Amino acid sequence: MTTPEHPSRGLELAYARVSTTKQSLERQLDALAAAGIPAERTWTDKKTGATVEREGLAALRAYARPGDTIVVYTLDRLGRNLREVLNLVHELREQQIGVRSLADPIRIDTTDAGGMGQIAFLLLALFAEMERTFTAERAAHARNVAEKGGRHVGRPAAHSPEKIEHARLLKAQGDSLAEIARKTGIPKTSLHRYLADPVVATDS
C-alpha cells in the first residue's frame, strides 16, 4: 500500500492479522472500517504461524507517531502469544502510541504514569479470551500442516474460530444471545459454551 502523509495531529491507525493463509481478513477489515478508519490507514499481515516477520506491522510502526492509537479487532491480533502482545504494548507505550481493541473500547493510556496499570488490567481481563484464540490458531496450523502431509487431525470443527471470535465481539458490544445466534448462525446451546465468562481463580 502507498504510505499516506502523516499529519501533525494524532491518528487512529488500524491493524489486522490472520495466522494462516486459509483465514480471511474480511471480518476484521469490515469492523475496522466501521470504526471509521479508512483503508489508507490500515495495515495487514496474513502469514502462517511459523512466520516471524510481519511486514504490515513493521510498516505501521514505522508510520505511527506519538499521540497515535493503533486499533485492532481484538488485542491478540498484535501478537502470536501473550508475551509478544505484552512486549509490543510496552514498546508502544514508550513511544507514546496508544492501543485500542474493538472488543473492549477502553483506550490504553500511554501518556501518564497510570498507563501500565491500565494495560495490566486490560490484559488480565482478556487473558483467557486470548489463550482460547491462540489455542485455536495453533490447532488450525497443525491441521494445515497435517493436510499438506495427507493426514487428518481431529474431527471437523462445528464452528470456525473466526465465527466464534465474531460471536465474542458481538457479546462485548452488548448483543443479546438471540441476536448473536442470528448474526453468526451458531445455536444458542453452543453459544452458552463459547461465551461463558472465564472463572477467576486464585491460582490463575
Q: In terms of domains, do 61 and 102 share one?
A: yes
Domain end point (choices 93, 121, 149): 121
State residue 23's pLDDT score. 75
State residue 200's pLDDT score. 33
- Burial letters for 102-135: b for 16+ Cβ neighbours within 10 Å, e otherwise? bbbeeebbbeeeebeebbeebbeebeebbebbbe
CATH of the domain at 20: 3.40.50.1390
Task: Report how many domains make up the chain.
Answer: 2
> Catalytic residue numbers?
19
Q: In terms of domains, do 158 and 78 share one?
A: no
State residue 90's pLDDT score. 83
115: in domain: yes
Q: In terms of domains, do 115 and 148 share one?
A: no
pTM of this structure: 0.57
pLDDT along the chain (204 residues), means of 10: 67 90 84 94 80 86 94 85 81 88 65 57 57 68 70 62 85 86 86 65 34
Q: In terms of domains, do 170 and 77 share one?
A: no
Range(s) of the domain holding residue 163: 128-194
